[in-house]
Amino acid sequence: MIQYKIDILALSEVQWTGMGEKRIDKEHFIIYSGNDATRDQGVTLPLSNAPAQAMISWFPVSSRIITARFLGSHAKLSIVECYAPTNEASTEDKQNFYNELVGVLKDIPRHDVLCLLGDLNAKIGNDYTF
C-alpha cells in the first residue's frame, strides 16, 4: 500500500474469523469480517490514515460482504466489498449472497458515491477447462 500510494484496498478470501478493526501500524488501519465457524471466505478493507479518519461508519454484513462510509470533500463515499461464491457453490448459497448484496446496495443513501469492490468470481466466455 505504501509503495503504490494506495489508500483503500479490498482483500477477499482472507480466512480470518470474526469481525473487527485493527491498527496495523501508525499509518494503517484495517476493518474485517470473516466466517466464525470456519477459516474460509472473509473480506477486509485496509485503510491508510486519511480514509480511516474520514470513515463515518462501517458494517460487517457477513463473511462475504463488508461496507464502509466515508466523508469526502464534496460527497459521501460508500464502499461495498464483496466476495461472491463460485459456480461450484450451491444454488441456495449463491442466491442468498446475491439477495444480501442487493439488500445492501438498496440501503446505500441515494446521494452517496457508490464503489463496489471485490471478487465476483466472474468468468468471461464459456471455456471451463480450468
Task: Please work out, in degrees rounded to the nearest 5, the angle formed at the alpha carbon of residue 102 by the alpha carbons of 34 and 128.
Answer: 75
Q: What average pLDDT score do residues 5-23 get?
A: 91
Tens digit of pLDDT for each residue in 27-86? 999 999 998 877 778 999 999 999 999 999 999 999 999 999 999 999 999 999 999 999
Q: What average pLDDT score do residues 77-96 get?
A: 95
CATH of the domain at 54: 3.60.10.10
46 located within any domain: yes
87 located within any domain: yes
Distance, CA of 47 to CA of 44 (rounded, Å):
10
Distance, CA of 85 to CA of 54 (rounded, Å):
31
Q: Is the pTM of this model over 0.85?
A: yes
Q: Which residues does residue 114 pair with via DSSP β-bridges, in sequence order?
A: 78
Domain total in the chain? 1
Its domain, for residue 76, covers 11-119
Q: Where are the beta strands (DSSP E) in the chain?
A: 11-12, 19-25, 28-33, 43-48, 55-60, 65-71, 76-83, 113-119
Q: What is the pLDDT of residue 17?
A: 85
Q: Indicate whether 123 pLDDT > 80.
A: no
1 located within any domain: no
